[in-house]
Amino acid sequence: MKKTSWLRRLWGIRARRIVLRLVVLLLLVDVAFIFVMPILRLLSTSLMHVMDLYDPTVVWIPRRWAFENYSRAYAALEYALSFKNTALVAGVCAILQTISCAIVGYGFARFRFPGRERLFMLVLFAMIVPPHAIIIQLFILFADLHWLESYWPFIVPSAVGMGLRGALFVFIFRQFFKGMPWELEDAAMIDGAGPFRVFFNIMLPPARPAIVVVFLFSLVWHWNDVLEPSIYLSRTEKFFLPQRLSIVEAALANLQLRGMWGTGVIMASALLVILPLLVLYLFTQRYFVESIERTGLIG
């Protein structure tokens, strides 16, 4: 108590508040630095010539700009093809997962039926099961269905609300729909709309924040997934971007090639892999941040 009064007398409340703001700002810049620095490093290294990499006087800004790193990375990734694969599958899976998980979440949130709580426990259960325990069986299942080397192992589970973290998305939608007022639905029901029409026309439009969050999460996670593709796909023309990146890296583990091309190519490839996501985030960022806060993720 004594200490605060002393401080107050010295600075006055106002000055203290300004200092506090500055400290907060400084800390924020600090933390932001932790998140931005690796990306800047990635960018700077990706533009470095081999010579620069071994030159201790070159830290951030390359002395010999190596833009050819990008053309090499583009070629090594077979970018056009792998981008098309990744965007197609991640996009389709994200759309399907968003729709299916919204439907299931709505079902759990708004209808009363026997065994609902117990069935919802299954959703929680599905969140906990690690891929370790089922990945072999899924491999066998898809092999028996002759779905290996195709994209069905990604699309079909997404369509039924499973797939990558599907249970989590069901959970998010359920929490969101639980928090919505009943009046609109009741009014529409009384006017004679069926449950599916009520869902698509009345409940879905205001659920936009939840939809944005789930869609972006789903897209990002599918985009970056490496475990499942590495097990279901073995032909390179079917590969997604992160898998290609692993191939480029494996190729550059060959010392001779690395001496010639340098680490810069790997960094350029890595940046090319996440570039579409970064661009997407740049445009949706404001909407995304806002949405998160309105989802009522925890209700």
The residue from 15, 19, 24, 88 that contacts another protein (CB under 8 A) is 24
Query: Element (H or E) spanning 134, and its range?
Result: none
The residue from 5, 113, 190, 283 that contacts another protein (CB under 8 A) is 113
The reply to whether 36 sits near another protein by the rule CB under 8 A is yes
Instruction: Give dist(CA 210, CA 287) in Å, integer.
Output: 11
Site map 157..176 versus another protein, x via CB under 8 A: x--xxxx--x---x------
The closest alpha carbon to 66, from 91, 93, 48, 53, belongs to 48
Give me the phi and psi of 240, to 5 degrees please: -95, 170
Query: How many chain residues are in contact with another protein, going by CB under 8 A?
Result: 91
Q: Which is nearer to another protein, 88 or 227 (CB)?
A: 227
Instruction: Give dist(CA 182, CA 250) in Å, integer.
Output: 56
The residue from 138, 155, 193, 247 that contacts another protein (CB under 8 A) is 138
Instruction: Give dist(CA 278, CA 107) in Å, integer.
Output: 34
CB of 128 to another protein, least distance (A): 5
Max CA pair span of the chain: 79
The closest alpha carbon to 91, from 215, 230, 252, 235, belongs to 215
Instruction: Give dist(CA 233, CA 117) in Å, integer.
Output: 38
Give me the phi and psi of 18, to 5 degrees please: -65, -45
Residue 116: both structure tokens together: 């609902």
The residue from 88, 119, 187, 257 that contacts another protein (CB under 8 A) is 119
Which residues between 60 and 99 bind another protein (CB under 8 A)? Answer: none
Instruction: Give dist(CA 240, CA 213) in Å, integer.
Output: 23
CB of 292 to another protein, least distance (A): 5
The reply to whether 192 sits near another protein by the rule CB under 8 A is no
The residue from 2, 111, 117, 182 that contacts another protein (CB under 8 A) is 111
The residue from 3, 9, 112, 118 that contacts another protein (CB under 8 A) is 112
Which residues between 198 and 257 bind another protein (CB under 8 A)? Answer: 199, 216-217, 220-221, 223-224, 226-227, 230-231, 242, 245-246, 249
Q: Which is nearer to another protein, 88 or 295 (CB)?
A: 295
Instruction: Give dist(CA 126, CA 211) in Å, integer.
Output: 21
Q: Which is nearer to another protein, 58 or 81 (CB)?
A: 58
The residue from 2, 3, 35, 183 that contacts another protein (CB under 8 A) is 35
